[in-house]
Structure 1
Amino acid sequence: MKAMGVLELRLPYRLVKTRSLPALVLGLSLLPPLMAALWVFGPPPWRGEVWGLVGLTVLTHLLAFVATDRMARYPGREVWGLVAFNLLLFTLLLVAVLAMGRLYYSRLFLLSATLLAFLALLLYLRHLPPARLALVPGGMGDWLRQSLGRELHPLASLEEAEGVVADLHHLDPRALPLLAEASLRGIPILHAATVYEGYTGRVPLEPGLSEGLSALAERDLGLYPLFKRAFEVGLVVLFSPLIFLIGLGVALLVYLDLGRPVLFAQERVGLGGRPFLAYKFRTMRGAPREGAYAGEEEGRITPLGRFLRRYRLDELPQFWNILRGDMNLIGPRPEQRVLAEVYAREIPLYALRHAVRPGLTGWAQVQQGYAEGKEETLVKLSYDLYYIKHLSFWLDLRILFKTFWVLLTGFGAK
């Protein structure tokens, strides 16, 4: 092993999923309601209505824990926010069920159980020992090392590893005995590109473009794409009164700032490379230029326009594009047709991002922000291909959650 220079790699277990912990999740779902019940109601036996409340709370926490565990498998640092979001969401649903069913409840019990569950889930996600992996240098293994930004030390023994990470597409023959030993021991063998994806949230394109093609060839979307469109349109329709009222307010401000028209349409590239007109509120003086980057138009953006761009309010009219079928709520952001044609000539895999319907928000937007130029667009493409490969209900929920943070902070705006 030392001759191979195998290194010790430690990563959060949730990003590489070398082991499953359903028993721990179930235990953490049971413990907070039981502890809160002991404190509020005393030791059992309890009345039947108390058992009913405790049982529903256990189910609520189990759903919140499972949702958080699935959403946390995608890279990001906002773990505490995910925990709070899911516990609050499912607890509100529990309160609604109790109210509609006129069932017994205790505010003190629900509050204490939720606070204990928050602490338990936060400890679960942040303080479990990381997965200990053996990294075989070479190929994508070296790119993974660079993305970590820290020095790795030699691994003393394969017995200490929970998995072996190697570039299976460009494997050093000297690593074969090591992989054979790992297989005999029942230790998982992980492709370095897959681990890179789990850690960075990007499909690796820098060493070469073959991984991008491999990523899409390996994707397994399941049944989610069959109801994704209905789910997203339903969300838009549900919140349409609020969207309409905010849109009216923005339209009035734009009219007072820039006059008529308050909207402009720009040709963008959609599903399958087909062009469509995307609508936005005006934020600049004069007519928009085709193929121009936002940074080149800085001098024409009004103070109001800068505010609207920062908080993405200029994109509210694109909810109409969603209802028309031009866009999804979540997906790769549609690029200007002129720029998309340039990128397609310069970046061979660029057209792959048109394999899905573009979105109002997307993985690249919440991870990277606005991209300008070929190099930043290549990074954006790596995020888009990650989304296309890992498209799922849980990833879409993670993007929606991160979008709220982007809207609050103005992250990545131009």
Structure 2
Amino acid sequence: MKREYQRRHSRWYEILLLGLSIHVLVGLPLVIMLPSLERWGWGFWHYLPDVRSNTLIAIGLAFMATALTLRRMSRFPGAQLAANIMPTVTFAFLIAVALLLFTREGYTRQVLFGGYLVSLVWFYLGYFISRRFRKPKLALVPFGEVRQLIGTRRADIRLLELPDLEKMRVDGVVADLRAQDLPAEWEMFLARCTLSHIPVYHVRQVAESLSGRVKIDHLSENEFGSLLPSLFYVGFKRVIDFVGALLLLPILLPVMLVIATAIKLDSKGPVFFLQPRMGYRARPFLMYKFRSMYHDMSGEDFTISEDDPRITRVGRVIRKYRLDELPQIFNILKSEMSFIGPRPESVALSEWYEVDVPFFSYRHVVRPGITGWAQVEQGYAAQVKGMVKKLQYDFYYIKHFSLWLDVLIILKTVRILFTGFGAR
């Protein structure tokens, strides 16, 4: 008997198009009209001098940049959109104001600020209204590796007992398409789902999207190819890193001077800690950090725990808030590092991991960073077991190497700086 099933709601790209359409057709007019009507009154569109038109264009560009950024970031696991709305909207409007000031174009502050407030309200309302659609409802075919998904909080998981959805409406069906014990009746069930336009996902694909990690026990040639980062973005990111480091240097130098003085007063030894690290394309380089340990105490190449007796009083503070990493801005200027990327390991540890961790050297396909996806998701890891998980995060970053993922990492890093979570 032929069965037809129904999805719970549209596919992700249909929701994407619908969301963008609502932003353009409803949200954009609202953020432009409401503050304009309050300041200039009804019929303001009949008289648009440069000051008014510049203001409206700035609001529109900031609003659409926010909508696109939040939409792109929502694809990544653990995006925490509610926490990212205010900083994203704020940053977009600050960029708009900076461009107006740089070009010396006039604008109306009251209207621009009103557009900022209306944008905040719009995106928060959209977030709370659409929450029920963001958690996918998935049905699992009970063979192979699918049981690893049971218990995740990022999806509504239902384990099927029979090859039939009955009246259940789901967003997709997950199966281990490489399972050797997949019966014929379940294969027919997957075919019926496909004919009913219900997506059928391979378990690895779903596990990656929910966990933010790429498994590394086996990689085929196609997966190696998909992990190659965009060469265009590699070059673009290098320019952004260099320009950003130059702009930040005058601001950071006074802060670094204060930290250096505190380190010198706290304990004997040099201010900086220089260590050979494995870098871009497996080329060793000398990484700069503020010294956070006593100079005359020996031990492992990595931190044993947060209670490591080698850490100084000042060291505990600067490590908690990542201030010991500030001198790496000079590594960025020298093109040895990036602001965002896999954390560089010492040469000694790298040689150790090369033996015990499969595909470890592949993380060197992009420049190492001061912060990265593994750092904001996992924190510090030194032992092999923790390094395997960290490497899975690094592979996810390389596979999804993009501006949007970098923006998400920046927002998560800012939260870490204020909370101390994830510090190693």
Aligned residue among 241, 255, 260 for 1:232: 241
- Once the two structures are superposed, residues 275-302 of structure 1 have per-residue CA deviations (whole angstroms, 9 ceiling, x without a partner) of 2221211111124657433126811211
Q: Is the CA contact (8 Å cut-off) linking 1:131 and 1:162 kept in structure 2?
A: yes
- Once the two structures are superposed, residues 121-160 of structure 1 have per-residue CA deviations (whole angstroms, 9 ceiling, x without a partner) of 4336534353333322333422222545987354734882
- Once the two structures are superposed, residues 311-339 of structure 1 have per-residue CA deviations (whole angstroms, 9 ceiling, x without a partner) of 11111111111222222211111112222
1:225 deviation in Å?
A: 1.9
Aligned residue among 182, 187, 190 for 1:179: 190
Q: Is the CA contact (8 Å cut-off) linking 2:266 and 2:313 kept in structure 1?
A: no
1:252 deviation in Å?
A: 1.2
1:366 deviation in Å?
A: 0.7
1:46 deviation in Å?
A: 4.1
Q: Is the CA contact (8 Å cut-off) linking 2:269 and 2:295 kept in structure 1?
A: no
Q: Is the CA contact (8 Å cut-off) linking 1:18 and 1:162 kept in structure 2?
A: no
**Residues 104 and 324 (structure 1 numbering): CA distance in 2 closer, same or farther, change over 3 Å?**
closer
- Partner of 2:125 in structure 1? 120
**Residues 54 and 213 (structure 1 numbering): CA distance in 2 closer, same or farther, change over 3 Å?**
same
Aligned residue among 305, 310, 326 for 2:320: 310
1:260 deviation in Å?
A: 3.9
- Partner of 2:383 in structure 1? 373
Q: State the secondary structure of the residue aligned to 1:316.
A: helix
Whole-angstrom CA distance in 2 between matches of 1:18 and 1:36: 30
Identity of aligned residues (%): 34
Whole-angstrom CA distance in 2 between matches of 1:289 and 1:9: 61
Do structure 1's residue 335 and structure 2's residue 345 form an aligned pair? Answer: yes
Q: Is the CA contact (8 Å cut-off) linking 1:266 and 1:278 kept in structure 2?
A: yes
Q: Is the CA contact (8 Å cut-off) linking 1:247 and 1:316 kept in structure 2?
A: yes
- Once the two structures are superposed, residues 69-106 of structure 1 have per-residue CA deviations (whole angstroms, 9 ceiling, x without a partner) of 11221112532221111111122233445563213453
- Once the two structures are superposed, residues 20-71 of structure 1 have per-residue CA deviations (whole angstroms, 9 ceiling, x without a partner) of 4223223233253256258626655744339844454233212211111112
Query: How many residues in Structure 1 have an aligned counterpart in Structure 2?
Result: 403
Do structure 1's residue 217 and structure 2's residue 239 form an aligned pair? Answer: no
Whole-angstrom CA distance in 1 between matches of 2:7 and 2:325: 42
Do structure 1's residue 93 and structure 2's residue 92 form an aligned pair? Answer: no
Aligned residue among 232, 245, 248 for 2:254: 245
Q: State the secondary structure of the residue aligned to 2:48.
A: helix
Aligned residue among 152, 166, 173 for 2:158: 152
Deviates more, 1:43-52 or 1:126-135: 43-52
Q: Is the CA contact (8 Å cut-off) linking 2:266 and 2:314 kept in structure 1?
A: yes
Deviates more, 1:376-385 or 1:86-95: 86-95
Query: Which residues of structure 2 form unaligned runs of 5+?
Result: none
- Partner of 1:196 in structure 2? 207
Q: Is the CA contact (8 Å cut-off) linking 2:274 and 2:288 kept in structure 1?
A: yes
Q: Is the CA contact (8 Å cut-off) linking 2:341 and 2:372 kept in structure 1?
A: yes
- Partner of 1:143 in structure 2? 148
Whole-angstrom CA distance in 1 between matches of 2:417 and 2:258: 17
1:197 deviation in Å?
A: 1.2
Whole-angstrom CA distance in 2 between matches of 1:18 and 1:134: 20
Do structure 1's residue 270 and structure 2's residue 287 form an aligned pair? Answer: no
Whole-angstrom CA distance in 2 between matches of 1:202 and 1:284: 32
Q: Is the CA contact (8 Å cut-off) linking 1:134 and 1:158 kept in structure 2?
A: no
Whole-angstrom CA distance in 2 between matches of 1:139 and 1:288: 50
- Matches of residues 280-291 of structure 1 in structure 2 within 5 Å? 280-287=289-296, 289=298, 291=300
- Partner of 2:48 in structure 1? 49
Q: Is the CA contact (8 Å cut-off) linking 1:18 and 1:131 kept in structure 2?
A: no
Q: Is the CA contact (8 Å cut-off) linking 1:283 and 1:305 kept in structure 2?
A: yes
Whole-angstrom CA distance in 2 between matches of 1:322 and 1:96: 25
Whole-angstrom CA distance in 1 between matches of 2:147 and 2:209: 16
In structure 1, give the amino acid aligned to 2:110: S
**Residues 322 and 288 (structure 1 numbering): CA distance in 2 closer, same or farther, change over 3 Å?**
farther
1:111 deviation in Å?
A: 4.9
Whole-angstrom CA distance in 1 between matches of 2:376 and 2:134: 28
Deviates more, 1:221-230 or 1:337-346: 221-230
Query: Which residues of structure 1 form unaligned runs of 5+?
Result: none
Whole-angstrom CA distance in 2 between matches of 1:178 and 1:158: 14
Whole-angstrom CA distance in 2 between matches of 1:327 and 1:131: 37
**Residues 390 and 213 (structure 1 numbering): CA distance in 2 closer, same or farther, change over 3 Å?**
farther
Whole-angstrom CA distance in 2 between matches of 1:314 and 1:400: 17
1:362 deviation in Å?
A: 0.7
**Residues 153 and 34 (structure 1 numbering): CA distance in 2 closer, same or farther, change over 3 Å?**
farther
Q: TM-score, normalised by structure 1?
A: 0.85
- Once the two structures are superposed, residues 327-375 of structure 1 have per-residue CA deviations (whole angstroms, 9 ceiling, x without a partner) of 2211111112222212211122222222222111111011111113121
